């Protein structure tokens, strides 16, 4: 593949200095050296890799040799909520284990530390033939991926997964060390971790202590973790170069204009509409009593966070300047292909193929979202029922022919959640299942045949009866069904019957999406990425895949849209000034009592230009010594469109400051044992 020098010069613009969610083995050392005069060594990157982790739906890091994990409160909140009860509401009161014996085991939390990566593109692509259709190629690649993962796991004992990069232009095999015995050590109160609540979500300045500490265990003992981050004695400083190691979820910076248009006009509005109905229902439910508020709190927080994140992305895509920049680059790249003598107009038709596929698929997106992914949002029971129904069918197939989430490589994680002993709360389940039945009813009997299951009842009445009658709250019953496919097929459990009724339509839509959209990765989008890679080379990084990445940036304030300077850090005094005594600006009594003891000008939260997205929550922030100076917990609202295009003009990552954490642990929560393990006791 060859491009003219003029076109290469026109396109090969350097990546912005702080831009990039970089692979550990593809980090732009020269860029950092040029701008910050700092040499990023292989040893420095290795420390970032081996001391950081993916945990739950976010990120974390080891901060002691005895398995101590540092992450966000909202990353650990699922565990915290599941460990809570009316008698011990740790979301409300916080939690601290002063000894190892007091640490509480999370019901179904796991963490994964990246050990190694290997390019396996040739192995993935080799089975496909030139004459294969895109759909056939995709199936052969998926089968090859399953074989690679299985061989790796059997040979090494590690968790092995093949990660698709550059829209399928490259595949890497990732090996992880998995920890499944995770225990809670410390968590502040929810109202401290999420001070300012939903009104302040995605804003800045912020005043949140969004942290928690957990511990990884192996064989009943704290895990030995020689790779860990030490705690900085100085803490964060303005204009300082910092690094963030984490697991950014998904970005679409390599997406075509046709894909972005689909997200803007179809996918995101549908996502927001579905979230909105659930948020409204949960708010009404929460207002009924303090106990109802406790039961709904974790689910409502998740939905609110998703809603604001999706809304911010939609705002970005409705920004004509962003879309114009994306369109201009695409035109230049397409022109380069069309004018290349070895490629030409026919090669450039891949953009038309992508546009045609998304246009064809758009009308199916709503049914797909409701029936297949994400299906019954908020309902644990339906998720369990579907997993059981699908596992019964998928387990009978050869490993390389199964759906990815049921391959041998995924089975340990699936069983951890499927057999979780975490309590299931009937009122919330009934409410969320009723929302789902309403959506299914609106789809129509042809796509969602549930008329016989409703039996003339309203969705609310049917949901309440289903939740009351199901036996799936019993882990033993789940295990019994999983071991007996005939029992699943003949079960009269109402949730199993619902999952079975939806299965034909859901699988049909899933297959249609694979043939229409996912097959593009075996044809059009992969070829577009090959063009980009040829032009940009090492300056190009792949879209985020919820796999380990490293980013860098400066601790730096900014000017808001009114040109008002926004300082790099907030302080404890600002938090107390904001505290009104009313939710969501209410501080726990222990914080009111501790005010006189605190250094009120101590940094609490700060911002940086680090390139992050959802999934980076809990990512450690380290200085040039590789020591903890903070932790990612959010971005400002200007940062949400970074999913599609990076900018450091106003977009910022938001962190909790390390020195503020120590100040709170020492003077508010009085945790000498924890501080001693962090190396900060008495300092």
Which pLDDT score is estimated for 125?
95
Query: Of the candidates 393, 379, 378, which has an alpha carbon nearest to the alpha carbon of residue 481?
Result: 393
Say which residues have a Cβ less than 8 Å from residue 342's Cβ, sequence separation at least 6.
1, 2
Distance (Å, whole) CA 409 – CA 176: 11
Q: Which two tokens stand for residue 352?
A: 């038309």
CB atoms within 10 A of CB 11: 18
Has this prediction a pTM greater than 0.85? yes
pLDDT score for 426: 98
Label residue 143 exposed, middle or buried (CB < 10 Å: 0-12, 13-18, 19+).
middle
CATH code for the part of the protein at 24-110+180-253+542-677: 2.40.10.120
> Which residues make Cβ contacts (< 8 Å) with residue 668, sequence separation at least 6?
590, 591, 594, 598
User: How far out from the chain centre does Cα 446 lie?
Assistant: 34
**Are the CB atoms for 653 and 608 separated by under 8 Å?**
yes
First to last CA, the chain: 60
**Where does residue 322 rank: exposed (0-12), middle (13-18), buried (19+ CB within 10 A)?**
middle
Q: Which helix (H) or strand (E) holds 45?
A: helix 42-51
Q: Is 276 helix (H, G, I), strand (E, B) or coil?
A: helix
Q: From 498, 392, 406, 507, select the one nearest 455 (Cα to Cα).
A: 498
3-state SS assignment for residue 2: coil
CA-to-CA dists, residue 330 to 144, 348, 374, angstroms: 32, 11, 31
What phi and psi, each to the nearest 5 degrees, are found at residue 244? Answer: -125, 125
> What are the boundaries of each domain within the chain?
24-110+180-253+542-677, 255-317
> Of 589, 588, 597, 573, nearest to 667 (Cα)?
597
Using 70 as the pLDDT threshold, list the residues of the chain that sit under it. 1-17, 537-539, 682-683
Q: How far apart are CA 505 and CA 511, in angstroms?
A: 10
Which two tokens mark 509? Answer: 């839509």
**DSSP 8-state code for residue 116:** E
Give the H/E segment covering residue 75: helix 73-83
Crossing angle, helix 73-83 and helix 290-317, to 10 degrees?
Answer: 150
Give the span between the Cα atoms of 43 and 54, in whole angstroms.
20
Provide the H-helix boundaries in 157-200.
190-193, 197-200
CB-based contacts of 652, cutoff 8 Å, min separation 6: 204, 556, 558, 607, 608, 609, 635, 636, 638, 639
Residue 105 vs residues 14, 156, 217: alpha-carbon distances, Å = 47, 27, 9
Q: Please give the biggest Cα pair distance in the chain.
A: 75
Per-residue pLDDT, 683: 57
d(CA 592, CA 90): 19
Is 184 within 8 Å of 83 (Cβ atoms)? yes
Query: Over the Cα atoms of the chain, what is R_g?
Result: 25
C-alpha span between 160 and 148 (Å, rounded) = 9
Measured in whole angstroms, the distance separating CA 176 from the mean position of its chain's CA atoms is 17
> Could you tell me the sign of the dihedral formed by the alpha carbons of 422, 248, 309, 442, in that order?
negative
In this structure, are residues 238 and 556 in contact, taking their beta carbons and an 8 Å threshold? yes
Beta bridge mates, 657:
630
At a CB cut-off of 8 Å and minimum separation 6, what does 397 contact?
Answer: none
Please state the φ and ψ torsions of residue 154, each to the nearest 5 degrees. -70, -35
Tokens coding 275: 């979230």
Which helix (H) or strand (E) segment is 286 a member of?
A: helix 268-286
For residue 136, give the 3-state DSSP assignment.
helix
The CA–CA distances, whole Å, from 646 to 251, 357, 369, 443, 639 equal 11, 27, 28, 38, 8
- On whether the CB atoms of residues 264 and 560 are closer than 8 A, the answer is no
For tokens 């009308």, the residue is 363
Alpha-carbon gap, residue 662 to 618, rounded angstroms: 17
């Amino acid at each position: 593949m060859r491009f003219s020098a003029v076109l290469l010069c026109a396109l090969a613009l350097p990546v912005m200095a702080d831009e990039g969610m970089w692979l550990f083995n593809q980090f732009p050392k020269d860029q950092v050296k040029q701008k910050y005069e700092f040499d990023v060594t292989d040893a420095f990157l290795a420390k970032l890799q081996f001391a950081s982790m993916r945990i739950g739906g976010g990120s974390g890091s080891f901060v002691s040799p005895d398995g101590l994990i540092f992450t966000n409160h909202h990353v650990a909140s699922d565990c915290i909520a599941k460990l809570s009860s009316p008698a011990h509401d740790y979301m409300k009161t916080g939690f601290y284990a002063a000894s190892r014996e007091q640490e509480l085991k999370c019901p179904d939390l796991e963490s994964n530390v990246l050990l190694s990566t290997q390019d396996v593109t040739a192995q993935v692509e080799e089975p496909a033939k030139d004459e294969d259709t895109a759909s056939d190629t995709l199936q052969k690649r998926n089968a090859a991926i399953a074989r690679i993962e299985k061989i790796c796991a059997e040979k090494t004992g590690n968790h092995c997964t093949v990660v698709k990069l550059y829209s399928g232009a490259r595949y890497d095999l990732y090996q992880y060390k998995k920890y499944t015995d995770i225990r809670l050590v410390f968590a502040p109160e929810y109202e401290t971790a999420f001070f300012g609540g939903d009104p302040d979500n995605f804003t800045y300045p912020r005043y949140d202590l969004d942290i928690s500490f957990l511990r990884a265990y192996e064989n009943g003992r704290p895990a030995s973790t020689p790779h860990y981050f030490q705690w900085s004695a100085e803490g964060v400083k303005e204009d300082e170069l910092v690094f963030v190691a984490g697991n950014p979820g998904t970005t679409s910076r390599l997406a075509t204009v046709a894909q972005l248009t689909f997200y803007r006009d179809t996918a995101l509005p549908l996502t927001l509409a579905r979230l909105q109905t659930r948020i409204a229902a949960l708010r009404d439910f929460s207002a009924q009593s303090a106990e109802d508020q406790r039961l709904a709190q974790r689910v409502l927080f998740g939905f609110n966070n998703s809603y604001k994140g999706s809304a911010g992305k939609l705002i970005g895509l409705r920004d004509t300047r962003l879309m114009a920049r994306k369109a201009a680059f695409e035109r230049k790249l397409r022109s380069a292909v069309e004018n290349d003598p070895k490629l030409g107009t026919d090669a450039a038709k891949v953009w038309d193929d992508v546009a045609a596929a998304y246009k064809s698929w758009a009308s199916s997106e709503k049914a797909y979202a409701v029936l297949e992914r994400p299906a019954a949002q908020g309902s644990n029971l339906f998720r369990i029922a579907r997993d059981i129904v699908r596992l019964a069918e998928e387990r009978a197939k050869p490993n390389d022919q199964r759906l990815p989430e049921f391959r041998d490589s995924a089975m340990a994680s699936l069983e951890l959640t499927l057999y979780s002993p975490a309590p299931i709360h009937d009122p919330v389940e009934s409410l969320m299942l009723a929302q789902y039945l309403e959506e299914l009813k609106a789809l129509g009997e042809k796509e969602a045949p549930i008329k016989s299951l409703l039996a003339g009842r309203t969705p609310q009445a049917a949901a309440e009866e289903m939740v009351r009658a199901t036996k799936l709250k019993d882990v033993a019953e789940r295990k019994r069904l999983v071991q007996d496919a005939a029992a699943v097929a003949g079960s009269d459990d109402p949730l199993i019957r619902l999952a079975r009724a939806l299965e034909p339509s859901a699988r049909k839509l899933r297959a249609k999406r694979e043939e229409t959209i996912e097959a593009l990765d075996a044809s059009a989008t992969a070829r577009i990425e090959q063009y980009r890679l040829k032009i940009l080379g090492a300056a190009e990084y792949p879209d985020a895949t919820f796999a380990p990445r490293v980013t860098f940036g400066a601790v730096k304030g900014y000017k808001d849209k009114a040109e008002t300077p926004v300082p790099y850090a907030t302080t404890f005094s600002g938090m107390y000034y904001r505290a009104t005594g009313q939710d969501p600006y209410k501080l726990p009594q222990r914080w009111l009592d501790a005010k006189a003891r605190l250094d009120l000008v101590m940094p609490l939260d700060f911002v940086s230009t680090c390139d992050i997205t959802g999934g980076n929550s809990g990512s450690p922030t380290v200085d040039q010594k590789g020591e903890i100076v903070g932790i990612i917990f959010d971005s400002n609202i200007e940062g949400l469109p970074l999913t599609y295009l990076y900018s450091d003009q106003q977009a910022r990552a938001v962190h909790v400051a390390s020195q503020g954490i120590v100040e709170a642990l020492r003077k508010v929560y009085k945790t000498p044992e924890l501080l001693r393990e962090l190396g900060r006791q008495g300092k």
